Amino acid sequence: MGRSIKELLENQPNLSRDRLIPILQEIQDENGYLSEEAIIVTAEFLKLPTSKIYGVATYYDQFRFEPRGKYHIRICRGTACHVEGSLNFLSELEKLLKIKSGQTSRDGLFSLDIVRCIGACGLAPVMDINQEFYTGFSIPDLSRIINTYRLKV
Amino acid sequence: MIVQNDDLKLKLRAFLNNATSVQQKTDIDLLSLILRERVEKPVIYIGTSTCGMVAGAGKTLQTIKNYLEEKEIDAEVVEVGCIGLCSVEPVLDVQLPGRARISFQRVTADKVDYILDGILNNELPVEDVFYQYAQTKSEPWPKVPFINQIPFFANQNRIVLKNCGIINPEDIVEYIAGGGYRAFVKTIRNYTADKVCSIVEESGLKGRGGGGYPTGQKWRTTLMTADDEKFMICNADESDPGAFMDRAVIEGDPHRVIEGIAIAAYAIGAGKAYIYIRAEYDLAFKRMKNALKQAYDFGVLGSNIMDSGVNVFISVRQGAGAFVCGEETALIASIEGRRGMPRNKPPYPAEHGLFEKPTVVNNVETLANISSILDNGPQWFSSIGTLTSKGTKVFAMSGKIKNTGLAEVSMGTSLRDLVFTIGGGIKKSKRFKALQIGGPSGSCMPESLLDTRVDYDELKQNGLMMGSGGMVVMDEDTCMIDIAKFFTDFLQKESCGKCIPCREGTKRILEILRHITMKPGDEKGHETLERFKGVMQLESLAGVIKDTSLCGLGRTAPNPVLSTLRWFRDEYEEHIFDRKCRAGICRELRTFSIDVDKCTGCTACYKKCPENAIVGSPRMPHFIIAEKCIGCGICFDTCKFVAISVS
């Protein structure tokens, strides 16, 4: 964890309502998720009720309220990936990691998220683990890929 | 790379101020050097936009750098955007002094040594060569096709994508040397805001984000609305899965978008503009931020631009992942820091927009057209295309098509040309089944409609929509009910929940579709009838959602269902009456059986079956009770003896 949330808030150019989403994004970039504390502190700074902040944060898919795993997996569920069978890949990943999308495994190693579209539809199916991209994989490849990450620890 | 020193900056500023008078030989030489019409040492270009990176361009780039360092070769490495043909990424270009720039396809890291060994010694590694560029000042390679001889490129008309994959998107100098920002400087010096609106109106440019509303008219309405402050917003929240042209343009040529925004801001009298970029596009966000910084440093943005007294400030906002934020009022709410929910229109944002001020929201592709229109005049633009639709449209082609990627074609090109000539036809020589056009809330169309031309009105007449230009091609292995279910599921999850028809209606549609693709719980005679009734209800339900929803998302949400029902009704009937999915996609309609000769009675499937649908005793062949089976396929995956077959 880098800067504290307070520091981050004090460095903002202004504290108007329209800065709310960028601020939440910065906090998430720094910490990987939005903790309860982060939301309370932000509310104090922006002089907004915490309920409003939760209201905004839960509306958008990007914000997480659970810490990310060491390896963050994003699997694309866009149209082109769906046509190439991404639903099967997702359920295989859920089976392999024993978590559902949006969750983090108990050992804190993996977290799984669905992304609506990475924008690389020409190469579908697409998945990324900590910004490392995988494409054109099949079901047996998945357990191999996951195992290489397990062995890295 | 040329260092961006003060002397160069002054020269380019002079060039911008009076573009036509570059006559001094040294200046012409300088420009051609920047544009790399001639190079003094080998230049290696590599496409590193998101699609390139996904295909492995990052590793290729690293290998190239290592190679050059190891062999102590003095060469320049340039990262460019995406040329548009995703299926052959990573694309690597090499330009030797005096020779034409030549492209190689599918250059994964392991091929780098081989290709560079060859080309740097003037020998062509023939099998990986793709095409070469036609450059007047350099000698072409023998027996290599030119870029305009490749069918994928030959049938395109690249205006928006002109620089994508060619220039370095991280260097403003290259954009300016190629004629960039000339239109903007000319505009703020010579034209009134009113005149700019007229030019854009005359050109016939319509919104490329899906709406198809005339851009000039939108600007004029805002210009005519009196207020002390106005805003310009560039909508880069490209949230249609299956569309990625906005990403490619921002990653490959960000200054073209900035120039378009700056001209638009001037035309409506706005001093401040926002670019709202989708959350998932990290690289686009980074490149745009970098491009904006350079534009401020150079003095084509900021206050008193080029001593004209005009101020334009652009800031970039990152979206947070909500499909509906592509709708303009929802996008505005999101920038204001609220939940991105649409509101009732009118009043339109042109009168009441961001912070209650008049606001124009334009799509990336629309704005990327603006500089060319002002550069070449409205007549030039309106001469391209059909009677009512002018200019070009970029399509993002994906799915079961050979050449996946981005193609920009003149309006009036037929969809058949797009799929079969530019797209190269269907992968693995399968049969074409359907084309999905217009994003999730667009329509699926059968082969009989393929001769429809790309034209706002012609598409509409055939019950289709241009949308943002996503095109997903499907072959015989795709189940249309599954596709309808996929889109409805997407729209249902992305519905903001503000209005009831959209929130509840999409959920009910999804339920009916799920019911059709599920195995019946118990086999009663009237069940087929019940399921059929569901289809009848689908039609009336879709009508209600269409008529009563608040925003575009709701109003178009039933499209995937309605279009598949209209064109692929036989598949619905098959699912309902025969309980059969011809593509074998609807998992729950599959039937499983155990081959008694192969079954060893290991009981593995018996233990795993979640419904207790498998019976048998150890070391004896097992059986599946068809009535209990839900078709999950777990037994099939579990069996080590390939004793379970699926039909």
The terminus-to-terminus CA distance of chain A in angstroms comes to: 20
pLDDT of B357-414, one tens digit each?
Answer: 999 999 999 999 999 999 999 999 999 999 999 999 999 998 899 999 999 999 999 9
Q: Where are the domains of chain B?
A: 35-149, 172-382, 392-478, 481-578, 590-646
Element spanning B432, H or E: strand B432-437
pLDDT of A92-126, one tens digit each?
Answer: 899 899 999 888 999 899 999 888 888 788 788 99
| pLDDT band at residue A2 using 50, 70 and 90 as cut-offs | very low
A114/B contact by beta carbon, under 8 A: no
Chain B residues lying within 8 Å of A21, measured CB to CB: 317, 320, 334, 337
The terminus-to-terminus CA distance of chain B in angstroms comes to: 61
Mutation target to probe the B interface, by most B beta carbons within 10 A, among A14, A123, A130, A133 is A123
Q: Chain A 18-57, CB below 8 Å of chain B: which residues?
A: 18-22, 24-25, 55-56
Token pair for A118: 């990475």
Domain B481-578 has CATH 3.50.50.60: no
Q: Chain B 378-417, CB below 8 Å of chain A: which residues?
A: 396-400, 404-405
Cα separations in angstroms, B115 against A77, A129, B102, B133, B179 = 35, 30, 12, 18, 33
Q: Give the domain A71-152 fold.
A: Glutaredoxin (3.40.30)
State yes or no: pLDDT of B526 exceeds 70.
no
8 Å CB contact between B203 and B373 = yes
8 Å CB contact between B217 and B335 = no
Q: What is the DSSP letter of B582?
A: T
A123/B contact by beta carbon, under 8 A: yes
pLDDT of residue B19: 59
Distance from CA of B25 to the nearest CA of A (A): 44
Domain B172-382 has CATH 3.40.50.11540: yes
pLDDT of B497-510, one tens digit each?
Answer: 999 999 999 999 99
Interface contact A119-B404, CB threshold 8 A:
no
For chain B, the average pLDDT equals: 90
Mutation target to probe the B interface, by most B beta carbons within 10 A, among A14, A21, A27, A28 is A21
Report the chain B residue with the minimal C-alpha distance to residue A78: B241
Q: What is the DSSP letter of B414?
A: B
- With pLDDT > 90 as the criterion, what percentage of chain B qualifies? 64
State yes or no: pLDDT of B280 exceeds 80.
yes
Q: Pick from A24, A116, A118: which is nearest to B239 by CB?
A: A116
pLDDT of residue B499: 93
State yes or no: pLDDT of B483 exceeds 60.
yes
Residue by residue, DSSP assigns A4-60 as -HHHHHHT-S---GGGHHHHHHHHHHHHSS--HHHHHHHHHHHT--HHHHHHHHHHS
State yes or no: pLDDT of B452 exceeds 80.
yes
Cα separations in angstroms, B383 against B159, B374, B387 = 14, 14, 9
Enter the pTM of the model: 0.92
Which of B416-430, B451-465, B576-590 has the least mean pLDDT? B576-590
| pLDDT band at residue B630 using 50, 70 and 90 as cut-offs | confident
Domain B35-149 has CATH 3.40.30.10: yes
Q: Mean per-residue pLDDT for B414-429?
A: 94
State yes or no: pLDDT of B146 exceeds 90.
yes
Angle, vertex CA B64, rays to CA B59 and CA B68, nearest 5: 150
Which value, in Å, is the radius of gyration of the alpha carbons in chain B? 28
- With pLDDT > 70 as the criterion, what percentage of chain B qualifies? 97
B335/A contact by beta carbon, under 8 A: yes
Q: How many Å apart are CA B126 and CA B143, to the nearest integer?
A: 10
pLDDT of B199-251, one tens digit each?
Answer: 999 999 999 988 789 999 999 999 999 999 999 999 999 878 888 999 999 99
State yes or no: pLDDT of B521 exceeds 70.
no
CATH for the B392-478 domain, from 1.10.3720.10, 3.10.20.600, 2.60.40.790, 3.40.50.720: 3.10.20.600
Mutation target to probe the B interface, by most B beta carbons within 10 A, among A83, A128, A137, A142 is A83
Interface contact B320-A61, CB threshold 8 A:
yes
Q: Which residues contact A43 (CB under 8 A, 6 or more apart)?
A: A49, A50, A52, A53
Chain B residues lying within 8 Å of A122, measured CB to CB: 51, 85-87, 89, 396-398, 404-405
Interface contact B87-A124, CB threshold 8 A:
no
Q: Mean per-residue pLDDT for B116-141?
A: 89
Report the chain A residue with the minimal C-alpha distance to residue B316: A22
Distance from CA of A62 to the nearest CA of B (A): 5
pLDDT of residue B507: 94
Q: Pick from A21, A122, A128: which is nearest to B404 by CB?
A: A122
Q: Which of A88-92, B38-42, B196-200 is modeled with the greatest confidence?
A: B196-200
Q: Pick from B280, B399, B483: which is nearest to A119 by CB?
A: B280
For the B590-646 domain, the top CATH level (class) is alpha beta
Token pair for B91: 């694309």
Chain A residues lying within 8 Å of B56, measured CB to CB: 133
A150/B contact by beta carbon, under 8 A: no
pLDDT of residue B582: 87
Interface contact A83-B281, CB threshold 8 A:
no
Q: Where are the domains of chain A?
A: 5-59, 71-152
Token pair for B187: 């505009």
Q: Pick from A16, A17, A83: which is nearest to B399 by CB?
A: A83
Chain A residues lying within 8 Å of B478, measured CB to CB: 83
Chain A residues lying within 8 Å of B401, measured CB to CB: none
State yes or no: pLDDT of A1 exceeds 70.
no
| pLDDT band at residue B262 using 50, 70 and 90 as cut-offs | very high
State yes or no: pLDDT of A50 exceeds 80.
yes
8 Å CB contact between B401 and A123 = no
Q: How many Å apart are CA B513 and CA B596, to the nearest integer?
A: 35
B276/A contact by beta carbon, under 8 A: no
Q: Mean per-residue pLDDT for A10-35?
A: 89
